[in-house]
Structure 1
Amino acid sequence: MGIILGLLAIIVVLGIAFLLSNDKKNVNYKGIGIMLVLQLLITWFMFSTQIGRVIINTIADGFNKLIEFGTEGINFVVGGFEVQEGGVFFFNVLLLIVFFATILQVLTYLKILPTLIKWVGTALSKLTGLPKIESFNGVNSIFFGQSEALIAIRSQFHHLTDNRLYIVSASAMGSVSASIVGAYIQMLPAEYILVALPLNMFSALMIASVIAPVRVPKEKDTVDISNVTNDKSVFEAMGNGALEGGKIALIVAAMLIAFIASLELVNWLIQLIFAGVTLQEILGYILAPIGLLMGIAPGEVIQAGSIMGTKIVTNEFVAMLEFQPLMETMSEKTIGIVTVFLTSFANFSSIGIIAGTVKGIDSEKAASVSGFGMKLLIGSILASILSATIAGLFL
């Protein structure tokens, strides 16, 4: 029964995307089918085979080792503080972003990541028929944040039509940055977060390719990685990475303060009219039907839906913090589905981040992003639902 509901959820998600499509006649069905099969194979391999479990556990162990290294740096700086039981979220979780961002910056300077991303993107383009820029950006979005992923293709922005701009923006919103994966792993199970990374890449490209189909001449489809960084040495890359990571940590901290406080304010206002009712509960009931299709148990679907809804109206960090204490009472399947859903930037604030980034690159194209902002959010939510549903089929 769970498999039937999951397949129905996939059909519903792709059906909604098709209804939103700008050009229904030119949808790349072959490419979408190939990406769906790749999603199923990757998830099956990671969750259902011994080799896959070893691989994902090894990657998780690698991230945990990096977290240990990062923690040493954090303890050196703030180890003298006396904190209450459970520690301080900013110290224990967010400051790890500084170390992870530094590693990514160094790997970028050494051209290790750009070269890897280019070749994987090229292979994906040949396999699916997607343009190279869109494929490159899809893979790039696994490693870098929304702004950084778009900036990496700034030299190709003049080639992007509105539909192509939609696809690269959707990839940026539908994925997460590797620089904050270490922070996520501190809160939720590592295996589900790591599986979500490739699933989200495919889901974002699939949904965006249905909503905004493209056909691109070869001369307008080149990827240039020669100017992905302005760093002149490894030490400059380390310094810039640390500064960027510190900025991200402070931004996330500021957003958490604002969103959590605002959520409390909204709940207080709601309870002036409906005693005991919260925004999270309302969102839980709204998302319950799709939660059931995704594979969440009926007895857990309201709570799970409230967490997913919280992520959409605030951000993934707020939702993860609320989800942590609930995991003890939930099944492993629900934990996996919700964790995969939360591992993306699909929320209202991301529209502004992407529009601001595009404006900094090409002010004329920023108007296009603002115009399809809500469609971008809906597409990204559909992509998160698709990834979580695929994961649920194998849990």
Structure 2
Amino acid sequence: MSILLGILAIIITLGLAFLMSNKKKKINLKGIGIMLVLQLLITWFMFSTTIGASIIKGISAVFNKLIEFGTEGVNFVLGGFEVAEGGVFFFNVLLLIIFFATLLSVLTYLKILPAIIKYVGAAISKVTGLPRIESFNGVNSIFFGQSEALIAIRSQFHHLNENRLYIVSASAMGSVSASIVGAYIQILPPEYILVALPLNMFSALMIASIIAPVEVPKEEDKVDISDVSQDKSIFEAMGNGALEGGKIALIVAAMLIAFIASLELVNWIIQFVFSGFSADITLETILGYILAPIGILMGIAPSEVIEAGSIMGTKIVTNEFVAMTQFQPLLDEMSEKTIGIVTVFLTSFANFSSIGIIAGTVKGIDSKKAVSVSQFGMKLLIGSILASILSATIVGLFL
């Protein structure tokens, strides 16, 4: 029965994207089908085979070792601080972003990461029939944040019409940055975080390609990675990566303070208004009930769907870090299937604040195209939420 509900959820998700499409007759149905099959094969391989399980275990071990290296740097700077049991989230989680950002910056300077992204993107383009720039950006968005992913293709921006701009923006919003994956896996199970990375890439491309289909002439479909890094030496790359990582850590910390405090304020207002009805009414509970129907279709147990839905809703109105920190204490109470589905759903930038981030980045690259992003901002968010639902549903089929 759960498999049938999951299949129904996939059909509804793709159907909603189809209803939003601005060129229904131009949809690349073959490419969509291929990417859906690839998602199913990846999830089956990772969760149902010993080789897949070993790969996830190996990648997790690499991240854990990198976290150990990063922790040495944090301890050197902050080793004199006495913290309570459980540590301090900013010290133990967010500051590690600095090391991961530094590593990514060095790999980019050495042209190792751009080359891998370019050729993997080219392979995806060849198999699915999607344009190269969109495929490259989809893979690129696995490693870099929303702003960095879009900046990496700034030299190709003049080729992007409104539909192509929608697809690259959706890829940026539907994925997460590798620089903060190390922080994620300290909060939630790493196996689900890691499998979410390729699944969300394909989901974002699928949903965006349905909503905004494109046909691209070959002369306009080229990827240039010659200027992806402006650093003049490996030491400059390390320094700039560290500064960028520090900026990200501070931004995340500031957003957590603002969003969590704002949630408390909203909940106080809700409880004040509805004090005569129930003292347990919160924004999270309201969101839980709203998302409960789709949660059941995704495979979440009815007994857990309100709590799970509230976490997913919190992620949409705030960000993934707020939702993850709220979900972490519930891990011992939830079934493994619910944990997997919710974790994959949370592993993306699909939230309201991302609209502003993407619009601001595009404005810095091409102010005229930023107008288009602002116009389809809500459509971009809805598409990204559908992509998160699709990825989470597929994972639920194999748990």
Shorter-chain TM-score bucket reads over 0.9
Distance 1:158 1:291 in 2: 40
Distance 2:134 2:120 in 1: 12
1:62-141 pair list within 5 angstroms: 62-141=62-141
Q: CA deviation at 1:273?
A: 1.4
Q: CA deviation at 1:79?
A: 1.1
Please say if 1:391 is aligned against 2:390.
no
TM-score norm. by structure 1 comes to 1.00
Aligned to 1:219: 219
Distance 1:225 1:99 in 2: 24
Letter in 2 for 1:151: I
Please say if 1:32 is aligned against 2:32.
yes
Q: CA deviation at 1:84?
A: 1.2
Query: For this pair of structures, how many residues does the alignment match?
Result: 395
Letter in 2 for 1:131: P
Q: 1:332 aligns with which of 333, 336, 339?
A: 336
Aligned to 1:283: 287
Aligned to 1:308: 312
Q: CA deviation at 1:349?
A: 0.1
TM-score norm. by structure 2 comes to 0.99
Aligned to 2:198: 198
SS in 2 for 1:328: coil
SS in 2 for 1:268: helix
Q: CA deviation at 1:85?
A: 1.2
Please say if 1:294 is aligned against 2:311.
no
Aligned to 2:187: 187
Letter in 2 for 1:329: E
1:135-154 pair list within 5 angstroms: 135-154=135-154
Distance 1:89 1:221 in 2: 44
Q: Which stretches in structure 1 are left out of the alignment for 5+ residues?
A: none
Distance 1:226 1:329 in 2: 50
Distance 1:321 1:144 in 2: 22
Q: CA deviation at 1:138?
A: 0.2
Distance 1:121 1:2 in 2: 34
Aligned to 1:54: 54
Aligned to 2:173: 173
Q: CA deviation at 1:274?
A: 1.5
Distance 2:305 2:386 in 1: 18
Aligned to 2:42: 42
Letter in 2 for 1:166: Y
Aligned to 1:350: 354
Runs of 4+ in 1 over 2 A off after TM superposition: none
Aligned to 2:365: 361
Q: Which stretches in structure 2 are left out of the alignment for 5+ residues?
A: none
Distance 2:19 2:230 in 1: 43
Q: CA deviation at 1:265?
A: 0.4
Identity %: 84
Letter in 2 for 1:29: L
**1:343-369 deviation line (CA, Å, top 9, x unaligned):** 000000000000000000000000000
Q: CA deviation at 1:205?
A: 0.1
